[in-house]
């Protein structure tokens, strides 16, 4: 089986700080892969390189065999990679519905002029996209929030809407940066359920950064561990949990250190 996403020996430095050093990772189609590690281990930097937000200094990232190492974020999105952010990045003044429709933007073909006239293709397109968005609203059970400005929603619900916007892209690969950060127990359970359902029913491959070990071990097919910008372990949740280097670098340290949010 060839990997959907291949990360080959990528490194990234910011000034004198080496954020990611020589990380390689294969992501198989249909799996849930979690990336864990202590704060500052380079997890978000790795995600940013996949989504085209940063470009790797060295190394190569390919999606379905195509090199996307130096491609812009919008092109990566076109190829089916969607993401959510650690700090929610929704348009707070816009309604839930508008935020989700916006997520469909890269899939829309009608140009400014056609859209303005709102006739023929543009209208048909809008209806089709709205249908898709309604599927997502139904899937995430946020029917009662359609017309609410996202800024007025509780934090956990905003996280859910952000996931919805990522889903609106019809992603092949879903990058989730701490989707449960700051959520309460119930919201975490809901989110875990949604991630599993997205993976199983919509067939999306998920790359997940998460601090909640319970959730990570529960829903991941595989776990990769980063520490100081290097990959120190990779494997099934149980293997990783038993790895002495991981215990030392991550779990041991997490017990003494706090978490950053």
Least Å distance between CB 143 and another protein?
A: 5
> Which residue from 17, 109, 112, 144 is in contact with another protein, where contact means CB under 8 A?
144
| Site mask for another protein (CB under 8 A), range 192-231, x = bound | -x--xx--xx------------------------------
| Closest among 11, 191, 186 to 88, alpha carbons compared | 191
CA neighbor of 234 nearest in space, from 225, 247, 245: 225
Among 8, 55, 114, 146, binds another protein (CB under 8 A): 146
C-alpha–C-alpha distance, residues 138 and 248, integer Å: 43
- Which of 53, 139 has the CB closer to another protein? 139
Token pair for residue 88?
């929610």
Query: Which residues are bridge partners to 175 per DSSP?
Result: 83, 207
**For residues 103 and 166, is the Cβ–Cβ distance under 8 A?**
yes
State the minimum distance, in angstroms, from the CB of residue 78 to another protein: 26
Total interface residues for another protein by CB under 8 A: 15
Nearer to another protein, 94 or 196 (CB): 196
Q: Cα–Cα distance between 210 and 180 in angstroms, integer?
A: 7
Q: Which DSSP state fits 21? A: E
Contacts with another protein, 177-196, as mask; x by CB under 8 A: ----------------x--x
């Amino acid at each position: 089986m060839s990997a959907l996403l291949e990360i080959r020996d990528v490194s990234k430095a910011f000034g004198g700080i080496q954020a990611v050093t020589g990380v390689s990772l294969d992501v198989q189609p249909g799996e849930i892969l979690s990336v864990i590690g202590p704060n500052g281990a380079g997890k978000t930097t790795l995600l940013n390189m996949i989504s085209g937000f940063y470009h790797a200094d060295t190394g190569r990232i390919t999606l379905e065999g195509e090199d996307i190492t130096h491609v812009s974020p919008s092109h990566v999105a076109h190829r089916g990679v969607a993401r959510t952010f650690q700090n929610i990045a929704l348009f707070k003044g816009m309604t839930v519905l508008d935020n989700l429709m916006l997520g469909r933007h890269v899939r829309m073909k009608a140009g400014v002029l056609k859209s303005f006239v709102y006739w023929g293709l543009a209208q048909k397109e809008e209806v089709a996209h709205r249908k898709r968005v309604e599927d997502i609203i139904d899937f995430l059970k946020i029917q009662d929030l359609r017309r609410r400005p996202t800024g007025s929603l509780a934090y956990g619900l905003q996280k859910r809407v952000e996931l919805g916007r990522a889903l609106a892209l019809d992603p092949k690969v879903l990058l989730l940066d701490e989707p449960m950060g700051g959520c309460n127990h119930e919201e975490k359970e809901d989110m875990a359920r949604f991630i599993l359902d997205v993976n199983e029913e919509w067939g999306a491959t998920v790359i997940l950064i998460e601090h909640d070990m319970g959730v990570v071990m529960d829903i991941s097919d595989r776990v990769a561990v980063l520490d100081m910008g290097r990959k120190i372990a990779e494997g099934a949740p149980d293997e990783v949990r038993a790895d002495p280097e991981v215990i030392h670098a991550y779990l041991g340290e997490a017990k003494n250190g706090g978490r950053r949010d």
